[in-house]
Amino acid sequence: MNFKTDFRMVALGLCILAIALRLVPHDYNVSAICALGMLLGCFGSPLLGFVVALAAMAASDVLGEVLGIPSMGFYAPWLMLTVYLAMASSALVGRFVVGLRDGAGHFRIPLWAGVPLGAVVSSVLFFLVTNFASWLDPQMGYPLTLTGLAECYWAALPFAKNTLVGNLVYSALFFGGYAFFRMPTSSPVDVR
C-alpha cells in the first residue's frame, strides 16, 4: 500500500474517531476536530483537512441531533457556519504553522514545537471568530458596543480553556499516533 492510500485511510480513520469523540460525553468545546484538520493540513493538504474537518463536524452534528445529545445538533445557520469554518480553518494552521518545510523537505519549525503552537493558534482563532459572531447575534443579548463585545469574550473564557485543552491533547495524540505508525519498522536485534 503506498503512502497516498495510507494517508487516505488515516484521514478516514481519524475522521471517524473525531466524530465518535464528539458523541461521547465530554466537556463543552473539547473536540478532536481541530487536531484532525491540523494533521491533515500538515501532512496532506489544507483542502483535504478543511473538507474532512467540515465533514466530521456535519456528521457529528447530524448524529447528535438524531440521538438527542445535548449541545449538539442544529442551531442558527450563520452561527453554525461560523463555528464550522473556524474549526476547519485549523487545516490552514496545520499547513502554515506546523507543515512549513524548507527546500530539503525538513520542517522549519520542529513538530514538537509546531504542534502545540498550532493547537494554541487554532484555539485563539476559534475563540476570536466564534465569539465575535455570537456578539453580533441579537439572540445572545449582548449590546453592540465595545463593552458588549468585551462581555461576550469574558463570558466565553471558560469555554476557551476547554478548547485549548482539547486542541492540545488531541493534537498530541493525533500527531504522536501518526508519527508512531509512520515510523519504519526495524528488524529485531540479534542478542546472541
Interacting residues of 37 by C-beta distance below 8 A, sequence separation 6+: 49, 50, 52, 53, 87, 88, 89, 90, 91, 93, 94, 122
Angle between helices 77-88 and 46-67 (to 10 degrees): 140
The one-character DSSP state at 102 is -
Coil vs helix vs strand at 115: helix
| pLDDT confidence of residue 187 | 45
Examine the pLDDT at 175 and tell me if it is beyond 80: yes
| pLDDT confidence of residue 2 | 53
Q: Region 73-98: what's the mean pLDDT?
A: 90
Q: What's the pLDDT band for 4 if we cut at 50, 70, 90?
A: low
How far, in Å, CA of 91 to CA of 37, rounded?
Answer: 4
Q: What's the pLDDT band for 66 if we cut at 50, 70, 90?
A: very high
**What global pTM score does this model have?**
0.86
Q: What is the pLDDT of residues 13-61, one digit of tens each?
A: 999 999 999 999 888 889 999 999 999 999 988 999 999 999 999 999 9
φ, ψ of residue 107 in degrees (nearest 5): -65, 135
Q: Of 20-29, 90-99, 181-190, give the lowest mean pLDDT range.
A: 181-190
φ, ψ of residue 101 in degrees (nearest 5): -125, 155
Domain 7-182 has CATH 1.10.1760.20: yes
How far, in Å, CA of 21 to CA of 33, rounded?
Answer: 9
Q: What is the pLDDT of residues 108-161, one digit of tens each?
A: 888 888 999 999 999 999 999 999 999 999 999 999 999 999 999 999 999 999
71 CB neighbour count, 10 Å cutoff: 10
| Spans of all domains in the chain | 7-182
Examine the pLDDT at 10 and tell me if it is beyond 90: no
Task: With beta carbons less than 8 A apart as the criterion, state whether 98 and 118 touch.
Answer: yes
